[in-house]
Amino acid sequence: MPVPKAELHLHIEGTLEPELAFALAARNGVDLPYADTGALREAYRFQDLQSFLNLYYELMAVLRTERDFEDLADAYLARAAAQGVRHAEIFFDPQAHTARGVAMGTVVEGLWRALERWGSPRSSEAESGGEETHGVSTRLIMCFLRDESAESALATLDAAKPHLHRITGVGLDSAEVGHPPAKFREVYEAAAALGLRRVAHAGEEGPPEYVTEALDVLGVERVDHGLRCVEDPALVARLVRDRIPLTLCPLSNVRLRAVDTLADHPLPEMLDAGLLCTVNSDDPAYFGGYAGDTFDAVRDTLGLGPERLRELARNSFLAAFLDDDEERRSR
Ligand code: HPA
Ligand code: ZN
Residue 80 lies in a domain: yes
Q: Is the CB of 148 within 6 Å of ligand 1?
A: no
CB 172 within 8 A of CB 200: yes
Q: What is the pLDDT of residue 323?
A: 80
Q: Is the CB of 173 within 6 Å of ligand 1?
A: yes
Both ends of the chain: CA-CA distance in Å?
38
What whole-number percentage of the chain has pLDDT above 90? 92
Q: Is 163 annotated as a binding residue?
A: no
Q: Report the separation in Å between the CA atom of 256 and the middle of ligand 2, taken as the mean of its atom positions.
A: 11
Residue 159 lies in a domain: yes
Starting from the CA of residue 57, give the closest ligand: 1
Higher pLDDT, 327 or 67: 67
Residue 35 lies in a domain: yes
Coil, strand, or helix at residue 308? helix
Q: Is the CB of 281 within 6 Å of ligand 1?
A: no
329 has pLDDT over 50:
no
Q: What is the pLDDT of residue 237?
A: 98
Mean pLDDT score, 91-116: 98
281 pLDDT band, cuts 50/70/90, is very high
Question: What torsion do the CA atoms of 226, 227, 233, 237 make, to the nearest 10 degrees?
Answer: 50
Residue 331 lies in a domain: no
How far are the Cα atoms of 72, 110, 244, 321 from residue 138, in angstroms, in the given order?
15, 14, 21, 9
Residue 157 lies in a domain: yes
* 204 annotated active-site: yes
How many structural domains comprise the chain? 1
124 has pLDDT over 70:
no
What is the edge-to-edge ordering of all strands in the sheet holding 137-145?
5-11, 85-92, 137-145, 169-173, 197-202, 222-225, 246-248, 277-279
Residue ranges of alpha helices (H) inside the chain are: 18-28, 37-42, 49-59, 66-82, 94-98, 104-118, 125-128, 150-159, 185-193, 208-216, 233-241, 250-255, 267-272, 284-287, 291-302, 306-318, 325-329
- Kindly name the residue from 204, 205, 213, 326 that is annotated as catalytic: 204
Q: What is the pTM of this model?
A: 0.95
Q: What is the C-alpha to C-alpha distance for residues 104 and 182, in angstroms, rounded to an integer?
A: 25
Task: Report pLDDT digits (tens) over 249-267.
Answer: 999 999 999 999 999 999 9
ipTM (interface pTM): 0.96
Closest CA to 197 of 240, 149, 131, 141: 141
Task: Report pLDDT digits (tens) over 214-230.
Answer: 999 999 999 999 999 99
Q: What is the pLDDT of residue 296?
A: 98
Task: Report pLDDT digits (tens) over 304-322.
Answer: 999 999 999 999 999 999 9
Q: Report the separation in Å between the CA atom of 107 and the middle of ligand 1, taken as the mean of its atom positions.
A: 18
- CATH number, domain with residue 308: 3.20.20.140
Q: What is the C-alpha to C-alpha distance for residues 315 and 28, in angstroms, rounded to an integer?
A: 41
Q: Is 293 annotated as a binding residue?
A: no
Mean pLDDT score, 194-204: 98
Task: Report pLDDT digits (tens) over 51-94.
Answer: 999 999 999 999 999 999 999 999 999 999 999 999 999 999 99
Mean pLDDT score, 106-112: 98
Mean pLDDT score, 282-286: 98
Q: Could you give phi then psi for residue 166, rounded to 5 degrees?
A: -105, -5
Q: What is the pLDDT of residue 1?
A: 81
Coil, strand, or helix at residue 76? helix
Q: What is the C-alpha to C-alpha distance for residues 158 and 30, in angstroms, rounded to an integer?
A: 30
Coil, strand, or helix at residue 207? coil
Mean pLDDT score, 275-302: 98
Residue 329 lies in a domain: no
Q: Is the CB of 174 within 6 Å of ligand 1?
A: yes
Q: Is 11 annotated as a binding residue?
A: yes
Mean pLDDT score, 183-208: 98
The domain of 21 spans 5-319
Q: What is the pLDDT of residue 134?
A: 78
302 bridge partner residues: none
Residue 198 lies in a domain: yes
Residue 326 lies in a domain: no
